[in-house]
Amino acid sequence: MDKIMKMLLVEDEPKMRELIKIAFKKENFKIYEAIDGKQALNFLKNDDFDIIILDIMLPEIDGWTVCREIRKFSDVPIIMLTARGEEFDKLFGFELGADDYIVKPFSPRELVARVKALLRRAESKNGEKDNVIDAGGIKINTMSREVIINEKVISFTNKEYELLLFLCRNPNIVFTREQLLLKVWGYDQYGDPRTVDTHIKRIREKLGDKSNYIITIWGVGYKFEVKQ
Ligand code: CA
């Protein structure tokens, strides 16, 4: 992996955070630390991450709830940390959307291996190689933030870009306007859902012959689907 991966590490115990940071020291990761669930959700409101390490027993908001909240707007890989003796209900965890879990105490090397495996899985799932997403001919370079359609760079405003990127990364899922507002504009902005509509309208205009990839689900919201 040449790309620097952004990791959100959610763990209230300083020693455990230190251990994990040391484990990833020689790897290509930039680690952001959150010490409780509330902080974690705040981070996610402002930023995208490649992977999340999420402790279950957390002050404020526990790991389960954080996981469930994240899944409302993101499919970022999540690996849960659980203490030995702590009841970990595997099925419950996977139902909430956790991708993997590891029991404390764990070997740092194993955690690194698990994280890398998860990232590889996520990468092949999204078909995202070298920071370029190709969603049915809509090519998005997430480093340069360029959108290329039919060999032409199309200019998007910041929010249009983010909205399009989010939809392309999460194809075939219906999102409500509120969910899109949450993801693209941030949690605490109780924005007007029509903001989403006007942005979708403008994005569609720019997508040209690919405008029908964004499908309106009447009474619900939108979904991105590549039409063959
Ligand atoms: Ca803990």
Q: 13 CA to middle of ligand 1, Å?
A: 6
pTM comes to 0.58
Q: 4 CA to middle of ligand 1, Å?
A: 27
207/197 Cα distance (integer angstroms)? 15
Tokens of 115: 């994280």
Strand partners of residue 215 = 223
pLDDT at 84 over 90: no
- Show contacts of 124-133: CB within 8 Å, 24+ apart: 126/169, 128/169, 130/3, 131/3, 133/165, 133/168, 133/169
Give the per-residue pLDDT at 147: 96
pLDDT at 1 over 50: no
Q: 14 CA to middle of ligand 1, Å?
A: 10
Neighbour tally for 133: CB within 10 Å: 18
Q: 85 CA to middle of ligand 1, Å?
A: 13
Give the per-residue pLDDT at 89: 67
Q: 101 CA to middle of ligand 1, Å?
A: 14
Residue that the structure tokens 């029509």 belong to = 194
Residue ranges with CB less than 5 Å from ion ligand 1: 12, 55, 57
Q: 199 CA to middle of ligand 1, Å?
A: 40
87-131 confidence digits (pLDDT tens): 666 667 777 888 888 988 899 999 999 999 999 888 766 656 667
Give the per-residue pLDDT at 120: 84
Q: 99 CA to middle of ligand 1, Å?
A: 19
Question: Could you tell me the domains of the chain?
Answer: 5-125 (3.40.50.2300), 128-224 (1.10.10.10)
